[in-house]
Amino acid sequence: MPQLTPGAHAAAPAQKPPPRLSDVHFKELYKKETYDAHTRDGWVLQITRYRPVPQAWSQPLLDEPIVLVPGWSQNRHAFTSGDFVKQLLAWGADCHILELRGHGKSSRALQLQRASHEGRSVPADFDFAWDLDSYLLEDLPAGIAAVKQRTGRAKVFYLGNSMGGMLGYGYAARHHDLAGLIAIGAPSDLGRGFPLLKLIAALGPVVVNPALDAATGAVNAVDALRFGTASLLRKTRVLTRAGDAIADPASQPLSLRYSHLPVDLFTQTMARVAHPLSLKAMHAVEPVLRRFGSLVNPGRVELDDLRWLLRQGGEKEPRAVMDQFARWITHDEMRCYRDGFDYKLGMRDLRAPLAVVYGAFDKLASEESTRTIFRSAKSEYLVRCRVDDNSHLEMTMGNDVDRICRVVFELVQWVKARA
């Protein structure tokens, strides 16, 4: 298959050659807007659109709509921390970042605000009760329908990172409104070739979950004892002040439970401690990281971009999502448990043009763990691209996004040439 390069189509002689990306200011490339997508089960999702501004140079992807879906516990900053969206905009792509329920602008705070304004209840799963099936059955159909309506297109391109790519496999197998699918760091056999992840998945439901439940129960019991003691002291009247000092009479006892994983707190802590010395330490143990797995290769990312992603890009992820991932890994399956849909069997019905990108340093999405989707899909255009020296996080914001974006470019150009 011939390789297409930027400017290979519709390059007018009068147009300037594309400048270096570093010489272009990001905000000169787009007009931004935010719009809603309403799910059937009551969530209001928000989509951030980076609409391309026509430039003096050739933009071969001008106004081609691409839906970008972040990964597990991530939001729009997964794509905007580095130059990923910037590169696509330089080629003219119309970028729509869909943030899944509870993430980024599709926050629980937004649901409270809208419900109050509209005089209705919040969604039934508001309190971190959603799972991967919610993303597949509710969020993706609503988001893609909203993008199609906004752009007036019958089909749009889908670009999913990590979990977003895995969900894309399922959506593309069930629907036929994708002009093409690009999956970045998205395994089709989660845990395959990664024994440590399989061990964690096996221990999670039987060890970690009960331990966290017990820990939160113990904290609640201690706090209830504190409030009970304060109440007894107040009844003596003589020791009222002592009771108030132990527990504020206007407050309530804690009622903690393990409903979600506070990934945002962890990433924000990592952002505070990340500095050049820590990256040098990671370089020193790079051979170990390559063998056992690491989420980031410090040699392929800028420190400022990484710190920004850690500070702004982490989100809370429900326990149910974690439990479903653990079940997938333990049983070597990918299923929607609500309706029985089998992602892996469904991949045989996937015919949208497909590109799968994985990092050579990535244990989560490796050559081995992306094999099933590559072998099963019936796409006429089918590409699998390995990016050397890349791990997981930097795939959409590191130093090699130009190469990864070129995979996107070539798929879109192939579709346009066939239209």
* Domain final position from 260, 293, 311: 311
Are 160 and 146 in a shared domain?
A: yes
Q: Which two tokens stand for residue 393?
A: 């996080």
The contacts of residue 54 (CB under 8 Å, 6+ apart) are 62, 92
Are 173 and 25 in a shared domain?
A: yes
How far, in Å, CA of 370 to CA of 91, rounded? 28
How far, in Å, CA of 354 to CA of 377, rounded? 8
CB atoms within 10 A of CB 265: 11
* Domain final position from 293, 311, 329: 311
β pairing state of 156-161 and 260-261: unpaired
pLDDT of residue 290: 64
Which residues of the chain are under the pLDDT cut of 50? Answer: 1-13
pLDDT of residue 230: 84
122 inside domain: yes
Predicted model pTM: 0.89
Are 222 and 258 in a shared domain?
A: yes
pLDDT of residue 291: 62
Domain region containing 188:
21-192+338-418
Q: Which two tokens stand for residue 326?
A: 């653990």
How far, in Å, CA of 21 to CA of 27, rounded? 12
Are 57 and 92 in a shared domain?
A: yes
Q: Which two tokens stand for residue 150?
A: 């906004």
Taking alpha carbons only, the member of 127, 132, 101 closest to residue 260 is 127
User: Can you give the CATH number for the domain in which 50 is found?
Assistant: 3.40.50.1820
pLDDT of residue 292: 61
Are 200 and 178 in a shared domain?
A: no
321 inside domain: no
346 inside domain: yes
pLDDT tens readout for residues 92-123: 999 999 999 999 999 999 999 999 999 999 99
Are 292 and 346 in a shared domain?
A: no
Are 212 and 155 in a shared domain?
A: no
β pairing state of 354-359 and 94-98: unpaired
Are 32 and 169 in a shared domain?
A: yes
pLDDT of residue 4: 40
Are 351 and 291 in a shared domain?
A: no
